[in-house]
Structure 1
């Protein structure tokens, strides 16, 4: 199997696992069920991941790395802080609407990730938040980092709540609604 095929298979496994873990919880899904979800046996998954915990860790590390890298790229490509903020919002909204299972899994299952990987996930997440804080500090007069950080976390709560309601509103309309609401929340009081 080529490295590209292995990478594609790995992504397929991570996606299936995210859906199963979101629906039934980490402990409610067996390795055999994970294998069946991707058309193989449970033990065959050990070629890709040493165990279920490492699969969960890889899933949450992957999303944390993608968000952090995407945030840095969006800010670097923006002409000014306002454009950077809109780009960050659009990127996070695309993630929230496109991968709601990952939000659910992260919220419920991070404590099941082994400690070294959990620390790395948290470090990546803090870096992602700080990218938003740096942009927001340029747009708000009340630029106290602790206030800006709290504002970013509250806005993530708003954006990440979409797994509970995204099916009720067409995707493009929901994205625009979240963009308006997220922008208002981030700039409130500033």
Structure 2
């Protein structure tokens, strides 16, 4: 398993070193899977020595998140150019460099920040809103066909591309990764028509399961709670309450919370496999197969957004045997995308195809976290186009 590299630092850099090491460990193992002893061991100091710089582990999380946000705000505090597209290119280049430089800690933005208090989460959201504003102002000027809300939505979709580099460990040269992300980001900003943000509700769709299917209700409510709060902040009592039963009754259907999480992962894995099989069956060629893969993933991601989000965010909390098995399934799924993409783009090497595949998949997943799927808006068709744009950038 990958671990942050141990390195000697001068004492005056120790606080920054602790925060950096902690950020990498939090993203690799999950916040609750890391102890002060783990952090101290990688830094090369004793656990009590950590307290000279931070009050507790949570204080390190706050500092690490703050460092990442500040680095992003600083790098994107750029003067406006006369041509709006030049300004956008400057911002995209800065974001691409940040994505490569902070690849090991991008998970702070993706998932780990859920463990912050509401107050600190609000601060992060404010800073992210400022980042969106910086890009969307220039985008709105460059593309007057976009409304303000459309420009912001398109900007958020672009951020998903840069954040995707931290969701995988595909081997690729830093310079090439930066170029790919830049091109994919610009392609999304230029995509037409604009993101249809009006006409659909923001939030989670209601869970629809038969009243009598108690096990399914428990699983659905658990997945919803895992998505909202994170696995470690959900207990059996909360699951029971959400499912309309006593906590003790939950154990009639699942031996424990870990078994519920594993069941959710196997359910998600089954859905992904089914969607892939359906997409590939009967496709007349690789190009059509890739298109059908995109369409099936959009449907799966938005119609089962809770399940897909937990599937991507909580694998560190699975029992080791389940984690190993399910990661193998995830890799095989990605490799099917890579195979098809290389087939339709012969000049693309596999490593580059993996980066673009993860960027496209992350875009769909990110949008599903804040927008309710509604075919009446044409959102599904637009997202299919966006994913296709990213894969062919």
TM over 0.5: yes
Greater than 3 Å deviation, 4+ residue runs? 169-172
Aligned ranges for residues 58-73 of structure 1 at < 5 Å? 58-73=263-278
Aligned: 1:146 with 2:368? no
How far is the alpha carbon of 1:170 from its aligned partner?
4.4
Does 1 or 2 have the higher relative contact order (CA < 8 Å, sep 6+)? Answer: 1
Aligned match of 2:236: 31
**Structure 1 unpaired stretches of 5+:** none
Query: Could you give the per-residue CA deviations for residues 102-138 of structure 1, whole angstroms, max 9, x where no partner exists?
Result: 2332343221111111111101111111111222122
Selected match of 1:133 from 312, 332, 338:
338
Query: Could you give the per-residue CA deviations for residues 32-68 of structure 1, whole angstroms, max 9, x where no partner exists?
Result: 2211222222122222211101111110121022202
Question: Quick one: structure 1 residues 107 and 66, their matched pair in 2 at CA, closer, same or farther if it must change by over 3 Å?
Answer: closer
Structure number with higher helix proportion: 1
Q: Does the 8 A contact of 2:275 with 2:297 survive in 1? A: no
Determine the C-alpha separation between the residues in 1 that align with 2:302 and 2:381: 11
Aligned: 1:165 with 2:165? no
User: Highest CA radius of gyration, 1 or 2?
Assistant: 2
Aligned match of 1:48: 253
Aligned ranges for residues 108-123 of structure 1 at < 5 Å? 108-123=313-328
Aligned: 1:124 with 2:124? no
Aligned: 1:84 with 2:289? yes
Q: Does the 8 A contact of 1:110 with 1:118 survive in 2? A: yes
**Structure 2 unpaired stretches of 5+:** 1-209
How far is the alpha carbon of 1:11 from its aligned partner?
2.3
Please give the TM-score of this superposition, normalised by the length of structure 1: 0.86
Alpha-carbon RMSD across the aligned residues, in angstroms, is 2.0
Q: Does the 8 A contact of 1:74 with 1:88 survive in 2? A: yes
Aligned: 1:11 with 2:211? no
Determine the C-alpha separation between the residues in 1 that align with 2:250 and 2:317: 19
Determine the C-alpha separation between the residues in 1 that align with 2:358 and 2:228: 25
